[in-house]
Amino acid sequence: MHSTDPAVVARRSLTVAAIGTLLTLVAFTAPLATINPTALTLGSDPAGRTWILSSMSIGLGAALLTTGTIADDVGRRRTFVIGNVVLAAGSVICAVAPGTFVFVLARILQGLGCAAVMASSLGIIAHTHAPGPVRARASGIWGASVGAGIALGPLVVAGLDSLASWRFAYWLMAVGALALAFVAQRLLVESRTDAPRGLDPLGALLLGLGMSALLAALVEGRQGWSQPLPIVLFAASALVLTVFVYVEYRNRNSMLDLSLFTQPAFVAATVAALMTGAGIIALMSFLSGFLGNAYGIDALGAAFLLFAWSATSVATALLARRIPDRVSGTTQLAIGLTGVAIGQVLLLGISESSTWVRLLPGLLVAGVSSGVLNAALGREAVSSVPAGRAAMGSGANNTARYVGSALGVTVVAVLAVPVGTPTAAGLVEGGNSAVLFTAAGSVVGALVMVVCSTRMVTPPAATPPGR
């Protein structure tokens, strides 16, 4: 089934990689619209609800860089296939989970599988599409698949929940992941870097432990920031993440080349991904549950409302390839983050009497801007790293995105949901606080883009005296 025609190889690679990315985003967003019935079935308390929304990001954040290296060194097709198998296994456990603890562990396992799929996807696209307009178009389609996954995930799960149970969605994910693994093995051509970097299991372990401790500290801090447990967890997180940076700096086979942070293009792509996760993804993760609790909108209604954002994002990402080449990737990231911030600001000021129509303008503006972001991030993730390390670039970029998402979801939950029995007025006030936090993150990201853009402008060489 392997073709040698470059056009056929490129078309098949893009199709499979985009479907893989779409599936990972469906898995990532699955609990968004159904967080209330899912938490009810699993017997989750407020902390458990937060872990349900954040847990997959831990797996993604811990494994994306490592699986990016594995994909480049061992084989991108092989990593893609194994990732789908792991995603299927995690989905099955989610479907049968008896309680919150098992479900959260299964979501982390899903994250590990999705990390392998996402990191290898952009590596597959970069290998089969030459730099320039061809890769820009492919990156736009990849960005659209991100938005499509975000759009379909809540709708599919909410629809199945209304018909039978949210658990059926996870069975469907498992079947889809196994089918995609089979197709990828048959259709994709194997590729790997000519300069293997080597694995860094210690770095991956330290990053995962440090992030988990930080998230746990934020969740437990809801019960009192001066309590011993959150203080210990914050201290442990700081220590482990410091050791992680030290190990990465000293290790010749580090999962991330820290010298890349001296490159403005890489810093821009990484910060933009981080603020995308902490800003718009975190806000949309919170919004579905908020609509149900504050306004009584059911899971399917909330999913359709979020569709206004995600569908607009898909359409914009597909059109982003028409942006002139003179508009740099960093400039597009700045425009995207600024637009997201404007959309988030438009969501401010909701009250107990607000209707879903009040949210629509902000969601549409944020959707258009998210499309620009997704298209540009995919391209910049690859172009900001050395040739042959595309999967590492993808891994680094998506690590930032989902670390930002995990932190953002947790902070938003802490800000938005009052301790104790929440009232409608308290939920609305918390919702406005969450919007303000995420909008501020988007603004900070846009400002960093501006700074990075100015640093990428090389000053003209001085004219020698006498000439």
Mean pLDDT, the chain, rounded, equals: 82
CA torsion angle 246 69 386 12 (round to 10): -160
Residue 250 lies in a domain: no
Residue 229 lies in a domain: no
Structure tokens at 47: 């902390």
Q: What is the pLDDT of residue 243?
A: 93
Residue 109 lies in a domain: yes
Can you give the residue range of the structural domain that contains 442? 6-188+255-455
Per-residue pLDDT reduced to its tens digit, 37-91: 899 999 988 778 888 887 887 788 777 777 877 888 888 999 999 999 999 999 9
Per-residue pLDDT reduced to its tens digit, 140-191: 787 778 777 877 888 888 888 888 889 999 999 999 999 999 999 998 888 8
User: Rounded CA gap, 293 and 173, in Å?
Assistant: 27
Per-residue pLDDT reduced to its tens digit, 277-331: 888 888 887 777 777 777 777 777 877 888 888 888 888 877 877 777 778 888 8
How many domains would you assign to the chain?
Answer: 1
Q: Is 343 exposed, middle or buried (0-12, 13-18, 19+ CB in 10 A)?
A: buried
Q: What is the CATH number of the domain that holds 128?
A: 1.20.1250.20
Residue 390 lies in a domain: yes
Structure tokens at 155: 């709708």
DSSP 8-state symbol, 296: -
Q: Is 21 exposed, middle or buried (0-12, 13-18, 19+ CB in 10 A)?
A: buried
Indicate whether 33 pLDDT > 80: no
User: Rounded CA gap, 44 and 284, in Å?
Assistant: 20
Residue 105 lies in a domain: yes
Indicate whether 350 pLDDT > 50: yes
Residue 277 lies in a domain: yes
Residue 238 lies in a domain: no
Per-residue pLDDT reduced to its tens digit, 375-419: 888 778 777 777 666 666 767 777 788 778 777 877 887 777 655
The distance in angstroms from the start CA to the end CA of the chain is 63
Residue 241 lies in a domain: no
Interacting residues of 159 by C-beta distance below 8 A, sequence separation 6+: 300, 303
Give the 3-state DSSP-derived string for 240-257, with helices as H, strands as E and coil as C: HHHHHHHHHHHCCCCCCC
The values of phi and psi at residue 386, to 5°, are -60, 155
Residue with tokens 């990972």: 24
